[in-house]
């Protein structure tokens, strides 16, 4: 049985842990608000862009253009862009991203494909480093400091387009966490390249016949890279919001657990104290009786 | 004059959203003016200034470094990655140094624009 002093120490250490977790929760909540706002601000741009691209790709279904699927190769080279957080202490956030990417790449390898990676965020990079070996093409960290820049998405986009156009990569997926609410996020993969019309859902395309200047093809070639950049940008923003949301819930749970622990320990401490007093009393009384 | 809706959208925010009479873009094949009831139209932009007219007067001008314009059903959307409202910026002060953040922004944008023009 621990002594009273041990118990007191333990209670005070749990209390200080609780202080830290509740402060982290507060910080995460503030950051979540900002991240959510940022994510919402990019939505009009992304929506409009995908509307235009959808109707263009829909019109060009039969034709083969620069970014459509290549039919020549048999072994597929697949690029995964894995977005995770730079820091831990956010519940299962990084863990589920890592698990998801591992599963996906194992599936691709089993199907006879080759996988290469670009990492955004330290956590997934660190834990998948050994698993990936030397197929890591690039690694970005500290992206959200002070805020996510659109230029970052642009540079990732340039990189993947270069790979795609010089035939060293056939497909590209983006793995990120979709932000549903502060307590619910799901890991998702999004296909960036190649574009094929079949997968694009055309719910609102009223089949407008546009007048193009310059030609339709040139516009398509200009607009698709832009669309990819904005998709990456939105994914990064959503990922950040998810990270903060996940951290908030994790820290909230931790604070609550610390509270429970403090209650139990205090109860135990008081009981032991009482037991000690009773014991001493009994000793004194029985000593007095003996005399 | 008949008006239509113009929106200028950048990845960070909706920069401009209003009913306007006429808007002139630096299209990649030449400047283009859009009025009401224009046919569905899609073009890319080069570096240049967007002029927005209401009642025969320019109410706003924006510097863009490229982008896409879509016109359909009396709604004109300009999507651009970099845009600065030139009205929000005064000329540089006496020392020749930019005096506020917007000017620094405009200056870097202008440098970029010049660079783009130079290499194209």
For B61-108, how does the pLDDT look when each residue is reduced to its tens digit (9 = 90+)?
999 988 999 998 889 999 998 888 887 665 554 455 555 666 667 777
Q: Is B116 in the A-facing interface, judged by CB distances under 8 Å? A: no
pLDDT in tens, A98-128: 999 999 999 999 988 889 999 999 999 999 9
What is the pTM (predicted TM-score) of this model?
A: 0.82
Q: Is the pLDDT of residue A274 over 60?
A: yes
Q: A211-225, B13-27, B93-107 — which is least confidently predicted? A: B93-107
Please report the pLDDT score of residue A171 as a whole number: 87
Q: Residues with Cβ < 8 Å from A285, sequence gap 6 or more?
A: none
Q: Is A226 in the B-facing interface, judged by CB distances under 8 Å? A: yes
Q: What mean pLDDT value characterizes chain A? A: 87
Question: A34-249 adopts what CATH topology?
Answer: Pyruvate Kinase; Chain: A, domain 1 (3.40.1380)
Q: Is A43 in the B-facing interface, judged by CB distances under 8 Å? A: no
How far is residue B69's CA from residue B63's CA, in Å, rounded to a whole number? 14
Q: Where are the domains of chain A?
A: 4-25+251-286, 34-249
Please report the pLDDT score of residue A62 as a whole number: 61
Q: Is the pLDDT of residue A195 over 80?
A: no
Q: Is the pLDDT of residue A67 over 80?
A: no
Please report the pLDDT score of residue B105 as a whole number: 72
Stretch (H or E) spanning A80:
strand A77-83
Supply the DSSP string of chain B, one letter for each residue.
---EEEEEE-SS-EEEEEEESEEEEEETTEEEEE-TTPPPEEEEE-SEEEEEEETTEEEEEEEESSEEEEEETTEEEEE-S-EEEGGG-PPP-TTSS--SHHHHHHHHHHHHHHHHHHH-
Spell out which residues of chain B touch residue A233, defining contact as CB-CB under 8 Å.
11
> What CATH code would you report for B1-120?
2.60.15.10
Q: Is the pLDDT of residue A1 over 70?
A: yes
Mean pLDDT of A34-47: 89
Q: Is the pLDDT of residue B22 over 70?
A: yes
Q: Where are the domains of chain B?
A: 1-120
Q: Is the pLDDT of residue A8 over 50?
A: yes
Spell out which residues of chain B touch residue A226, defining contact as CB-CB under 8 Å.
68, 79, 81
Please report the pLDDT score of residue B94 as a whole number: 47
Q: Is the pLDDT of residue A228 over 80?
A: yes
Please report the pLDDT score of residue A166 as a whole number: 84
Domain A4-25+251-286, CATH 1.10.287.80 — does that match?
Answer: yes
> Residue A279's pLDDT band (boundaries 50, 70, 90)?
very high
Interface ipTM: 0.75
Q: How far does the CA of residue B8 sit from the closest CA of chain A (Å)?
A: 9
Q: Is A44 in the B-facing interface, judged by CB distances under 8 Å? A: yes
Contact yes or no for B70 and A48 at CB 8 A:
yes
Contact yes or no for A222 and B39 at CB 8 A:
no
pLDDT in tens, A175-190: 999 988 888 889 989 8
Nearest to B40 among A209, A219, A233 (CB): A209
Q: Residues with Cβ < 8 Å from A103, sequence gap 6 or more?
A: none
């Amino acid at each position: 049985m621990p002594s009273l002093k041990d118990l007191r120490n333990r209670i005070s250490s749990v209390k200080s842990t609780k202080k830290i977790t509740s402060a982290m929760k507060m910080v995460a909540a503030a950051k979540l608000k900002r991240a959510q706002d940022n994510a919402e601000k990019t939505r009009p741009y992304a929506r409009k862009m995908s509307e235009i691209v959808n109707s263009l790709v829909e019109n060009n279904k039969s034709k083969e253009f620069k970014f459509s699927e290549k039919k020549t190769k048999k072994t597929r080279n697949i690029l995964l862009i894995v977005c995770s957080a730079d820091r831990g202490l956010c519940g299962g956030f990084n863990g589920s991203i890592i698990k998801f990417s591992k599963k996906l790449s194992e599936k691709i390898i089993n199907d006879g494909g080759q996988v290469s990676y670009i990492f955004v965020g330290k956590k997934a990079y660190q834990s998948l480093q050994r698993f990936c070996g030397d197929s890591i093409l690039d690694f970005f960290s500290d992206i959200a400091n002070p805020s996510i820049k659109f230029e970052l998405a642009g540079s990732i986009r340039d990189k993947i387009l270069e790979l795609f156009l010089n035939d060293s990569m056939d497909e590209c997926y983006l793995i990120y966490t979709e932000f549903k609410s502060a307590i619910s996020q799901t890991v998702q993969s999004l296909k960036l390249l190649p574009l094929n019309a079949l997968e694009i859902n055309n719910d609102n395309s009223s089949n407008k016949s546009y007048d193009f200047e310059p030609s339709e093809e040139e516009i398509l070639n200009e607009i698709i890279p832009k669309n990819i950049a904005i998709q990456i940008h939105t994914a990064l923003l959503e990922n950040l919001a998810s990270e903060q949301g996940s951290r908030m819930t994790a820290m909230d749970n931790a604070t609550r657990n610390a509270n429970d622990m403090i209650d139990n320990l205090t109860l135990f401490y008081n009981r032991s104290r009482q037991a000690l007093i009773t014991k001493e009393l009994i000793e004194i009384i029985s000593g007095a009786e003996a005399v | 004059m008949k008006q239509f809706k113009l929106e200028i959208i950048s990845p960070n925010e909706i920069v401009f959203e209003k009913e306007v009479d006429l808007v002139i873009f630096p299209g990649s094949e030449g400047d283009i003016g859009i009025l009401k009831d224009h046919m569905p139209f899609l073009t890319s932009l080069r570096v240049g200034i967007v002029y927005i007219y209401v009642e025969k007067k320019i109410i706003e001008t924006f510097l863009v470094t490229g982008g896409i314009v879509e016109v359909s059903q009396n709604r004109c959307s300009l999507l651009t990655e970099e845009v600065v409202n030139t009205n929000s910026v005064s000329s540089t002060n006496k020392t020749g140094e930019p005096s506020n953040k917007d000017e620094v922004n405009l200056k870097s944008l202008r440098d970029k624009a010049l660079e783009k023009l130079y290499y194209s």
